[in-house]
Amino acid sequence: MRLRSMLFVPGDRPDRMDKALASGADALILDLEDSVAAAARADARAAVSAFLSRPHPGVARWVRINPLDSGLCADDLAAAAGADGIVLPKAASGADVAALDAMLGGGDARILPIATETPAAIFGLGSYAGCSSRLAGITWGAEDLPAAIGATSSREDDGRYTPPYEMIRALTLFGAHAAGVAPIETVFPDFRNLAGLEAYCARAMRDGFTGMMAIHPAQVAVINAAFTPSDAAVAQARAVVAAFAANPGAGALQLDGKMIDAPHLKQAQALLARAQAGAGPFIAPISTGCARRAVIAAWCRARASISRRTIIWVWPTTPACARRWRRRWTVASRSDRAGRGCCVATIRRSRRWRPMPPRCSAARRRFISRPALPPIWR
């Protein structure tokens, strides 16, 4: 199960569930906890159950239930029947995951605990190894814990985490790797700041996280780009693996003027496994207004972090708009979707690439407002 991007969707908003399917996220998290008011819980459970009753191939469907000690967990799990996974908030240790495993009974739903939302949970981050075969990863949160200890904020004025929360983030990262599961980075709250999100994702990827949660569809493209190994990284990893394959008895080798040894080989193999899991093109939907232009700009800025030949863009097929796009992109292959009014093409950047697309003409704005294109809510 690929978990680069996990998009939260309020459980009491079935309209957003259908829209989220077009976001490109690897997984949706249908939320029955924080985003649902107490009076709306019954309606939210009904909406989640109805959504899960329909097949949605290509997207993993997770449900965030209420905490185990809330008295609401049993009803939430009944509504989550058929989900691919359960997000467990306020998990205190691996024992909570084992308890949830027992409650799930049959089926193959996986479990993702949010493992840092209470002060006691920080001391249980080393307890998840071997707690359950359903454990898919470990993630953390920087919102509930400050409230629990009376802190005014978990971030500096420039957006960086304060030292206590940097420590908690690191413990989550190492706890997940010690348990042999995916470390998932927490959300980036400022969903309109895609440049800040891009830098945040780059740090997470650098540090060893393999995916991230999102709170808005506009964040998904940036997150997927950041957690998809680039062509250069894949080529380097293949070179490392090939070097050791050609010298099976060697403990250390020289490659491109640098020494490589067993840790480099392990790192290269892990990167290739991630690249293989994420093989195939990614569809980046063009939506309306500033959100659409910001998504395009973010993908362009992420050019060093994504394969140029595996992005798929959807754009209007009106002649004037097509001419504008062809000045910036070289079409490698193209196929038309009948009745959709759009063109799908695998593209690579032209030498005359510029970071921002031109302003939309009135005709183009009218075109992209058509419901046939994947919508993104604000």
The pLDDT assigned to 355 comes to: 40
Q: Report pTM.
A: 0.70
Average pLDDT score over residue span 237-253: 87
Asked whether the predicted pLDDT for residue 119 surpasses 60, the reply is: yes
pLDDT at position 271 is: 83
Nearest alpha carbon to residue 110 among 27, 5, 42, 196: 27
Percent helix, strand and coil across the chain, each rounded to 5? 40, 20, 40
| pLDDT band with cut points at 50, 70 and 90 for residue 129 | very high
Please give the Cα distance from 113 to 33 (Å, whole number): 14
Confidence band, pLDDT 50/70/90 cuts, at residue 103: very high
pLDDT of residue 299: 43
Question: Which of 45, 170, 73 minimizes the C-alpha distance to 116?
Answer: 170
User: Measuring CA to CA, which residue among 312, 139, 149, 152 is closest to residue 225?
Assistant: 312
- Please give the pLDDT value at position 377: 35
Cα separation, 260 vs 274, in Å, equals 20
Higher pLDDT, 307 or 218: 218
| pLDDT tens digits, 44-80 | 999 999 999 998 888 999 999 999 999 999 999 999 9
Give the confidence band of 347 by pLDDT, cuts at 50, 70, 90: very low
The answer, yes or no, to whether residue 81 has pLDDT greater than 50, is: yes
| Tens of pLDDT, residues 207-229 | 999 999 999 999 999 999 999 88
Beta bridge partners of 135: 111
**Dihedral class, residue 259 (left if φ above 0, else alpha if ψ from -120 to 50, else beta):** beta
